[in-house]
Structure 1
Amino acid sequence: MAQSSTPSFFSQEELNKLKSDCKTGGLEAVTPVIQKKLKDLDNTEFNIVVTGESGAGKSTFINALRGLQSDYEGAAETGNTLTTMEPTGYKHPNLPNIFLWELPGIRTKQFPADKYMKKMQLKRYDFFIIISRSRFTENDVELTKEIKRMGKNFYLIRSKIDSDLNTFEMEGRKHNTDEELEKIRNYCVCSLKEEGIPSLTVFLISNFKVNEFDFPALNKSLPDILKNSGKGVVILSLPNTTLGIIEKKIKELKEQIWMFAAHSGAVGAVPIPGLSFYFNVQALVTAIIHFHQCLGLDDVSLQKLANWAGKSVNDLKAVVKTPLVGEINEQFVITILMGSISVGIVTAEVVLDTIPNVGSIFGAGSSISVSHKLLTDALNELTENAQRVVQAAFGTD
């Protein structure tokens, strides 16, 4: 499918300069710029802070976002007592440049509301998630207003929805789940509106049921309001709980392919016997491994998804029908190159030309064209497998 927009990692000015430099100095002239962009993909940090009053379920929420149960190594400490005494950062298990920060609960003896804002140094964070276990309090409102004053984006979350609904069942009271959820949502929105915070979406979630209530909607919408510099990183860090999330990841990964392809035809490129082009095979290895990890097809991600869905990990692995999730090494990629070269360079040229500016920068009939086709085919194959895994885990989207 043709790309409809210019790749988002480069400005139009940068793309024009790439084209000019490539014409005058060849591929070697643009290699440093491409290398830097690929390095930026690995090093972009994005700091998401989770805050709210003590006991709201912040630690459990962070574990849920990271796909960890409370007894797993590296999980945030949970409990019925105050467990977080200072800002604590947790790396995303797959993407180490995503950090989830848990702040101590506001309005405790140790952290009174009037000193909380300054002591927590809120300006250092990129995005905020404010969690409440019942109604949003005066402290939550003040925190929200401060975040708005800083020009930062945030979400409001009402946690422990499953506990609210369980109360009805324990008391033997008849209730309509959808109606009760709507009552809770309206109450939260109206309470915030009375405090001068209108038109906000409130997510109703259970930290133990990540594919129910508003948790899937939260995962889907989180990337849409993040600043551009960190957007792609956050999209790729999301767990594959819905087909919609996979679609967002695919769009992001497609925009990365041409950089990996250009890198494979530039730095350290060597001839491969039987082929007429030069390739940096390790760059292709790195790209394929990156794709299958981002799409949640590695063993660790599959196990976490199985835990969430209450399924056997073997059931999920059974629907994975591709060698691209096994051991990926240079010989494996060379074998693919030798096998796919007969498809023809003309096809590869068309693929590059569908990306605005990029095809005209590098031209056609090159190792970049072949690398681009190989990586596109690999991503398509991995995508089909990732979609089958989600359907096996949750049935439907």
Structure 2
Amino acid sequence: MFPFSQQGAQSETPTFFTQEELNKLNSEFETGGVERIRHLLEKKVKELDNTELNIAVTGDSGAGKSTLINAMRGLCSEDEGAAAVGTTETTMEPTGYSHPTLPNVRYWDLPGIGSTEFTAGSYLKKMQFKKYDFFIIVSAGRFTENDAKLAKEIKRLGKKFYFVRSKIDADLYSMRQQRDEFDEEAEMGKIRSDCVSQLGKAGIPDPNVFLISSFVKNMYDFYWLMKALADGLPNIKKSVFVLALPNDSVEVIRKKGEILKKRIWMLAILSGGVGAIPVPGLSAACDIGIVIGAIIYFRKCLCLDDAALRRLAERTGTSVEVLKDAVKSSLLGELTAPVILRLGLGVVAVAVSVVEAFVYFIPGIGSIFGAGTSFGMTYWILNDALKLLMETAEKVLAVTKRAQ
């Protein structure tokens, strides 16, 4: 039996396949081998690449919606494409912001229901609620009855919602300045209890309220908010959401690595399918193309593309060249066949190409050899490349933390 399984499905890392899909893959492979399942895997890879995620952030003007959207995209207000902060809300239309490297992920700034004349039901219709995967309801102070009405309407329509109490760092700082003795944890508990109580009185029993600062993402509830958002999504969209997160911690980087690794065996099998086509040298050429395309995608997801590195360099007062030099990774430059071959494929690839030129003339042998070698080479080189990129991402994170 081909090794399609739900191993790790009980972990927090999402799997890309339903059990029905896995059963079909096993059945097809047993009856027809790699060629029989190739179209199924191509379809799945295309689905992964085209999956959209739309995140709605709503709240009244000044609640911190734009700052939260920028934080979730890994942007500062000065970055190109960032949502404008500190402006007066003048539009009653949703404003969309694409993820800087994964354009199928979009964040939508919706006007707070308190700033409109709509009822909760007509508000959601006007805001085209069906397109959103979930809603984040943001308040910089007390949640209002309108917030509760909106949440109930969202729930009635089968969507998830999350309450976020923003600017908690400013509130705690103000309290600290006014008191001789200050217990931050106790004060956060009081604020959380007050929010829960308000929403409970408005008809939202036992709501989860996240206290965050979009400027200090390693403190308060920002991590737990991101985890809750991910856990509330179905598997493929969960993977998309995690890959779109900024690299704020080693844990995020490693979680991304787990998700990206689940793609590798699919790409390797597709490479194996091409390797089975009896054309001398084709499998090696296609292996390089698949590898380069995958590494470019890995770099984007791990915030190692040039645009992401440029933003980090600007924040740390350095340059992209200095940042690249500090982490010393051969995978951050231009990717070409010679570069990939120097990473370790070199001698093996040349040897395989020569052997293929002979064995393809022997009926049956060439097809099996081509599929096996293409799968092995692609799987091996992409695993090594992903491991190296994850190590590079952790080095970049360490360098930027030291510079801050």
CA distance in 2 between counterparts of 1:305 and 1:219 reads 21
Distance 1:333 1:194, change over 3 A: same
- Give the Å deviation of 1:261: 1.2
Q: Say if 1:265 and 1:278, in contact at 8 Å, map to a contact too.
A: no
Spell out, residue by residue over 1:54-111, the C-alpha distance to the aligned partner (whole angstroms, 9 max, x if none).
3211122112211222233322233342244201111111111111111112112555
Equivalent residue for 1:36?
43
Alignment of 1:61-100 (within 5 A): 61-100=68-107
* Paired positions, count: 374
Distance 1:341 1:190, change over 3 A: farther
Amino acid at match of 1:150: L
Aligned partner of residue 252 in structure 1, secondary structure: helix
Aligned partner of residue 328 in structure 1, secondary structure: coil
Amino acid at match of 1:210: K
Q: Say if 2:48 and 2:236, in contact at 8 Å, map to a contact too.
A: no
CA distance in 1 between counterparts of 2:34 and 2:165 reads 53
Q: Say if 1:265 and 1:279, in contact at 8 Å, map to a contact too.
A: no
Equivalent residue for 1:341?
348
Amino acid at match of 1:4: Q
Distance 1:166 1:5, change over 3 A: closer
Distance 1:394 1:278, change over 3 A: closer
Aligned partner of residue 51 in structure 1, secondary structure: strand
Of 9, 17, 22, the residue aligned with 1:10 is: 17
- Give the Å deviation of 1:50: 0.4
- What 5-or-longer segments of structure 2 have no aligned partner? 353-368
Equivalent residue for 2:143?
136
The two structures, once aligned, show a CA RMSD in angstroms of 3.3
Aligned partner of residue 62 in structure 1, secondary structure: helix
Q: Say if 2:272 and 2:375, in contact at 8 Å, map to a contact too.
A: yes
Distance 1:338 1:380, change over 3 A: closer
- Give the Å deviation of 1:387: 2.1
- What 5-or-longer segments of structure 1 have no aligned partner? 346-361
Distance 1:90 1:364, change over 3 A: same
Of 244, 260, 267, the residue aligned with 1:260 is: 267
Q: Say if 1:51 and 1:128, in contact at 8 Å, map to a contact too.
A: yes
Of 184, 193, 210, the residue aligned with 1:203 is: 210
- If asked which structure has higher relative contact order (CA below 8 Å, sep 6+), I would say 1
| TM-score w.r.t. length of structure 1 | 0.82
Distance 1:183 1:219, change over 3 A: same
| TM-score w.r.t. length of structure 2 | 0.81
Of 136-145 and 18-27, more deviation after overlay is shown by: 18-27
Tell me if 1:298 matches 2:305.
yes
Equivalent residue for 1:359?
none
Q: Say if 2:92 and 2:116, in contact at 8 Å, map to a contact too.
A: no
Q: Say if 2:295 and 2:385, in contact at 8 Å, map to a contact too.
A: yes
Of 44, 50, 59, the residue aligned with 2:66 is: 59
Distance 1:96 1:185, change over 3 A: same
Tell me if 1:320 matches 2:327.
yes
Amino acid at match of 1:393: T
Amino acid at match of 1:140: D
Of 184, 208, 220, the residue aligned with 1:213 is: 220
Equivalent residue for 1:350?
none
Percent pairwise identity: 49
